[in-house]
Every structure is written in structure tokens, then in C-alpha cells.
Structure 1
């Protein structure tokens, strides 16, 4: 009699959670027939809890892609989803609420209000949304960023690096689905740039934050888990676990 041995099925890795995605995303600027296509039917998925950088030559569409994913630009066609919410179907009011409650932003300029303390600047998005402050999260974020002893100070009483950390804490305090960073190191010196990138990495590792960063700097991009490469408004490839050298080589291949 023949016996059959049954093997237990191999465990499978669950698919990654997608925080945001673009489907056939097209964005054209200008009049029909004379317009410029910044994005041409781009399909992109942003995995939750990871640090994704977007790179490409000047005019490749990288900033437009980020602005569309963040709900700052309206696509000409295609879809943009944050979680399961289709941004292209939202009213202006609903889109404004989504950006305030589920999206975080870090820009080159800190945009702190000079009359408010550091703490008041950090919790401002919660105040505007009528939400209470999670004291534990506030303490955790400010502790990670090393500003927990500066919360009663106004921006004029803080160094540039401390102001930078306050702006970072403000972007993180709402626990956004996605934090978008638009050339966040572009106006910083080397030391401050390294600190900012380290903060972004730490927020991914310790807070589980999803980050999308547009940058032209190969060193900055090397902090990411994944790099999306754009050229002429289309996805031209990606790099996983990038190094500065691999980024430089990839950009050279794109003609930048």
C-alpha cells in the first residue's frame, strides 16, 4: 500500500499595505493641443511604513507626481488614492479635510508662526481640526527629535536646527497616513541636512511613518528604502536599498 506524505504549506509573506497609489495618472499643463504633459499614465504604489524617494532629471515630473499624490494638484486623468479614498472623487472641502487630517508636509521653509511657542506650533494642526492632543505621542515625538526641553520657546528663541525639528514634529503629530517631504534638505547646510534625513529615517523605524520625499540629491535619496525614477513624465525604474553610488549611476543613466 502506498502512503502519501502531506507537507504543511509554506508560510507566505502577506502583501504590503499600500498607503497611496496612482493609477494611469496623467497631468497636462496648458491648453489642449499646446499643453505640456508632466505625467503620462503613471502607475505607482507607495508602501506603508517605508521611506520612498522620487528622483529624476529636471522636468521629469517628480514634483508634479508628489503634488498629485498629496492632493495639491488635480490630475488631468487617472486616479490617486490615499488608502481606499479616491482623491479624484472628492469635493474641494473634503479634499481640504483629507489633507489636514491624513497628510503631513515638510518643506524647505519651516513656516512656524512667530507668536506661538514651539508646543503651540507643533499641535496647531490638531487645534485647527478640533482634535485633542495625545500627550504620549507628543512626548515621544519631541523626545526623538530632542526638543522636549524647548517647547515653551518661541521660534525666535530657537536655533535653525531646533526650528527644523519643531516643523518636523508638527508634520508628525497628526499621525498622517503619508508624510510628503519636498526637497526638505535643499536650503540646509550639510550638518542640518544630515539631521533632517536622520529624523525622517527615525520616524519610519520608530513611528512606522510612511514618507515620500522628492529630492535631486543622491546622498539624501540614499536614506530611503526605495527610489522611484522618473523621466519624461513616465516611471523609468526603481532602486531598492539604494546607496549614494547606485543613485548616481541610475541618475547618470537617465541623462541627468
Structure 2
């Protein structure tokens, strides 16, 4: 099912995050490239959405604009009722720090800090107290209890990504953005990461927006939004997500 912009605007009730008529133009030499071409899409609270598309489709640009990392040429981005369009860089930094969680393909952990310090770093920077109950829950579910004193270089790729997941969730963000989170992992570790993202939606009510080119990764999501040439070309709910081992992800 494909939804046009007018229909999508009527569905903004109950959303946690929305883009309205989003346009992003890049200049390459003397030419203009429309990375996003009038995208309107909303993301409901407590849902896991995969944004897919070929290289150059605009999916990463959309994620960056939604997360306040990049600024659209025109259009609006709203996060929990707050419009990001027009905010100063300082205000956008606060939004990214306080209201958004990030999981990257390259993990982006600080090599000199222990796993525990990497997890709590966003709260430390914001001067916020750590919710110890949530911390213990995340560490337990992710199997990191005996790795908290280890630095990233002493952890496997899968363990590093689990630390990154805990870091993204420890501040109870409005939205977690995951940018190709399994791109550097083997199939088993990747499956564990994707299963946990689903679990965070089911158990914590988290809202997750994941960019991926991998149809297996996308199958874990509740919904798939496909882009091509900077436009939404498909927006549909998924059948029950299936794990890499063939079972149904809960």
C-alpha cells in the first residue's frame, strides 16, 4: 500500500515523529540533486519501522533530517510535537542529546572508556542521573554483566553493538535511530541485535526507526517504508517479523 502526501498528513494523530513535505537538495558542481523530494511520513509511538531503498534513494538523508543531524532545504520535521525546523544548532544539539538515541553501523564507542562508561556517557554529558533499574535491565537482557569493565577493543563486534544499544536506550529517548546497525556483524550477532530492537519496542514501548538495505533486517520491523529517488514508493505493515533462524520474532 502506497500513501500519498495528502493521505499521510491526515494520519499524523498519534505519531511520535513526522516529516511533512520534506525536501533536501544537494549541490554537486553546478547541478542540483534532490535527495528528498517532498517526503511526508509519520512514525507512531511504540513501533519499529524499517526505511529501505537502494543506494542513493534518500533513506540515510531522511534519517539524518529526522534526527536533527542534517537540516532539510524545506519542509518540516516534528519530534513529539516539537518542530525541529528552524532550531539553532545549539538547540538541535540538545534535542539529539536528550530526546534521541543513535545506533550506528560502526558502533561509535569511545575506545578509552569502559563499556559501562560508554553506556552512561549521554547521561553524564547531560548531567542526568542514571536510572539504575533501567541500567540493570538493559545490561541483563543484553548479556553485558561480565563485560562492563572492558574497553571496546576487548569486546567482539556483537558485544560492542550491544553496548551501543544500551547507550541508545539508557536515556529513555523519544526515538531510537539505527543506521545499518547490523552492517558490520555476522548473521548471528546481527540477528541478536535486531531481536533486541524488537524487544525494546515490545517491553519498553520504544519507537525505533532503522535504515537498512537488507531485506532480512527489514523483516524484523513492524512496518517498511521504501524510498526511491527521494520519494516514498511503498509504505506497508509487515507480516510477523521472522528471525534469521526461521522462527517468529516476538
Q: TM-score, normalised by structure 1?
A: 0.85
What is the match of residue 50 of structure 2?
53
Matches of 2:157 and 2:55, distance apart in 1: 28
- Are 2:157 and 2:185, in contact at CA under 8 Å, matched by a contact in 1? no
What is the match of residue 136 of structure 1?
133
In structure 1, runs of 5+ residues without a counterpart are 1-14, 246-256
What is the match of residue 40 of structure 1?
37
In structure 2, runs of 5+ residues without a counterpart are 1-11, 243-250
Match of residue 116, structure 2, among 119, 125, 130:
119
Match of residue 236, structure 1, among 207, 214, 233:
233
Stretch moving more, 24-33 or 112-121: 24-33
What is the match of residue 21 of structure 1?
18
Instruction: Kindly provide the CA deviation profile for residues 91-145 of structure 1, in whole angstroms up to 9, marking residues without a partner as x.
Output: 1100001001001110111122222221111000000000011101101111111
Q: CA RMSD in A?
A: 1.9
What is the match of residue 247 of structure 2?
none
Runs of 4 or more above 6 Å deviation? none
Matches of 1:36 and 1:156, distance apart in 2: 39
User: What displacement does 1:50 show?
Assistant: 0.5
Aligned residue pairs total 231
Matches of 2:171 and 2:152, distance apart in 1: 21
Rg comparison, structure with higher value: 1
Q: TM-score, normalised by structure 2?
A: 0.87
Paired residues for 1:100-111 under 5 Å? 100-111=97-108
Stretch moving more, 105-114 or 165-174: 105-114
